[in-house]
Amino acid sequence: ILNVEQSPQSLHVQEGDSTNFTCSFPSSNFYALHWYRWETAKSPEALFVMTLNGDEKKKGRISATLNTKEGYSYLYIKGSQPEDSATYLCARRAGSYQLTFGKGTKLSVIP
């Protein structure tokens, strides 16, 4: 994998469903993996920053896991709510500074 790739591109779920997305990235020269939540007409807001293989982070109903050896991270949302509707971005930090972003997964939660 040469770039940061996210799947699926978009997702529609019913309120109360649990869901997950995938972020795939080059495993070489890895420093950190960031997840952002981005609501329409707002700026991206950081959810998690993960650095170690096997890292698991949790914030309320949202959690994330990291596998740096195989180059992927999963974001899970348990019991989706309409307010979870947003685009979820992942970004890989390869060096000390720059982030390379995926194109995002757009989640729509239907009431």
Partner 1 sequence: NAGVTQTPKFQVLKTGQSMTLQCAQDMNHEYMSWYRQDPGMGLRLIHYSVGAGITDQGEVPNGYNVSRSTTEDFPLRLLSAAPSQTSVYFCASSYSGLVDPSYEQYFGPGTRLTVT
Question: What binding mask, one character per residue, do residues 65-94 give for partner 1 by CB under 8 A, x or -?
Answer: ------------------------x-x-x-
Is 40 a residue that touches partner 1 (CB under 8 A)?
no
CA distance 77 to 88: 11
What distance lies between CA 14 and its chain's CA centroid? 20
Could you tell me the CA-to-CA distances from 10 to 18, 41, 52, 88, 105 in Å, in that order?
15, 18, 28, 10, 5
Residue type, 20: N
- Residues 18-37: x where in contact with partner 1 by CB under 8 A, - otherwise, as a string: -------------xx-x---
Residue among 15 and 45 whose Cβ is closer to partner 1: 45
We find the least distance from the C-beta atom of residue 15 to partner 1, in angstroms, to be: 27
Pick the piece of the chain touching partner 1 (CB under 8 A) from 17-25, 47-55, 60-68, 75-83.
47-55
List alpha helices for 28-107, DSSP H. none
Kindly report the backbone phi and psi dihedral angles of residue 84, in degrees, each rounded to the nearest multiple of 5, phi listed first. Answer: -80, -10
**Residue 16 in 3-state DSSP?**
coil
Quote the DSSP letter at residue 95: S
* Residue among 13, 76, 85, 103 that touches partner 1 (CB under 8 A): 103
Binding site for partner 1 (CB under 8 A): 31-32, 34, 42-46, 49-51, 89, 91, 93, 95-104
